[in-house]
Amino acid sequence: MARLPVAGCLALALAGCGGGAGLLPAEDTTKGGMAGRWLLEAPRAPSCGLNLSESPDGRSGRIVAEGGCPAGFYRGRRWAMDGNTLTIRDDNGDALGQFSQAGERFDGKSATGTTLTLSRPAAPPTE
């Protein structure tokens, strides 16, 4: 009978390893760093890529847009995190939009009120 408690504990310990909702909370997206390519999406508009670089503190950096981004985000030059709020600014320092962290993505609005989502692009399937 000593095996039953051990097996039960092992099953509970492994329950969080399957990629679903386990015993541990979801990891903060920014812990892995903000640097890299992000996808900006808005309703009824084509998405665009934003390439973010990081300052040494990992809480701010530069942006290079890949093209005609929705809501004027092609003018985005800088980003900064304040708590869980991400703000993207143009080269004049004017805020283009603000986002709140929502799991592995950021949801927000542009300065003109357009609903936006910023997320990492899905990895291409491996063969």
Q: What is the pLDDT along the chain (127 residues), one digit of tens a residue?
A: 444 443 433 333 333 333 333 333 334 445 568 999 999 999 999 999 999 999 999 999 999 999 889 999 999 999 999 999 999 999 999 999 999 999 999 999 999 999 999 999 987 777 7
**Which among 95, 115, 90, 112 is positioned nearest to 40, based on CA atoms?**
115
Q: Is 106 helix (H, G, I), strand (E, B) or coil?
A: strand
> What distance in Å separates the CA atoms of residue 11 and residue 52, rounded to the nearest whole number?
40
Architecture of the domain spanning 32-114: Beta Barrel (2.40)
The backbone torsions φ and ψ at residue 87, rounded to the nearest 5 degrees and listed phi first, read: -120, 135
Domain ranges of the chain: 32-114
Write down the pTM of the prediction: 0.72
